Amino acid sequence: MKNLILRVLTALFLLPPLLYLIWRGPLWALFGLSLLLGGHAFREWWEICRFPRGLFYISCGAYFGAFFLALKTLPGALWLLVALPTLYFLIHFRKEDFLGHFTRALSGLFYLFLGFWALFLLASKSRGDLLFLLAVVILEDTGAYFGGRLLGRSPFFPRISPRKTREGFLIGLMSGTLGGLAVNHWLGLFPWPLALFLSLALSLLSPVGDLLESMVKRSCGVKDSGRILPGHGGLLDRVDALIFAAPFFYAFLEVWG
């Protein structure tokens, strides 16, 4: 019960200023927010995966450099994410653990960079689109959490996340879809058939992002990615679904538009 109260209070404290920043804040502030949140999330990724500290530092340089470079050239930014960790191994190569460390660092860099960069691009393209995405993901997660607590009976991927249930998944799917339709009606973003498709697709993708992080944590024997958010755990625990769904959403809008 105490954890639930902390969870609700943290959300009530953080959501209003975040929503105000998304709706009214200058674009440079959203760029800085995406940059810094992604950097902190990568720190949590490092603490989960435990690759060498030197590789973490040079990978942070790659992440921050790629974020600025992507303003001019996305291929150049993606190249930098590979190049700097490669330079580290020119000095610290050991064939016994090279692939393991390199893969852990690189997967985190690409996962977090693509997710947070897509969020910034959505903000620069349309604040309404970003609010739509946030609404679907947050409501899906909230519906799945409370639906699972109240009605959950049947385990859903128990080897990955024992507490997740099919009932929670279905309630989350319904909550995210209906929430997306409501926000779309309020903002007038998409024709309703497209809004229904996007709401449903994002509600399906959100738990996949959550399960992806759960697989990483379970493989490394870690329960939470951190403790920065009382009642929620780490930042990565809260944004895993969002940064998994954001690149799909942005790419779809680019193709559709």
Check if the beta carbon of residue 89 is closer than 8 Å to that of residue 102: yes
pLDDT at 240 (0 to 100): 92
Q: CA 92 to CA 75: how far, in whole Å?
A: 26
Scan for tokens 């910034």, then name that residue.
Answer: 120
Q: Is 8 exposed, middle or buried (0-12, 13-18, 19+ CB in 10 A)?
A: exposed
Q: CA 196 to CA 161: how far, in whole Å?
A: 28
Residue type, 41: A
DSSP structural state of residue 228: S
pLDDT at 7 (0 to 100): 64
Q: CA 64 to CA 77: how far, in whole Å?
A: 10
pLDDT at 226 (0 to 100): 64
pLDDT at 45 (0 to 100): 95
Q: Tell me how far the alpha carbon of residue 101 is from its chain's centroid.
A: 22
102's tokens? 């390199």
pLDDT at 192 (0 to 100): 93
pLDDT at 172 (0 to 100): 94
Domain ranges for the chain: 2-256
pLDDT averaged over 10-residue windows placed end to end, the chain, 257 residues: 62 77 88 94 93 94 96 96 95 88 94 96 93 95 88 85 88 96 94 96 94 90 72 80 96 88
Phi, psi (degrees; rounded to nearest 5) at 233: 100, -135
Q: Tell me how far the alpha carbon of residue 165 is from its chain's centroid.
A: 21
pLDDT at 46 (0 to 100): 93
Cα–Cα distances in Å, from 92 out to 52, 105, 210, 245?
Answer: 10, 14, 33, 35
- Strands (E) in 97-139, as ranges, are none
DSSP structural state of residue 224: -
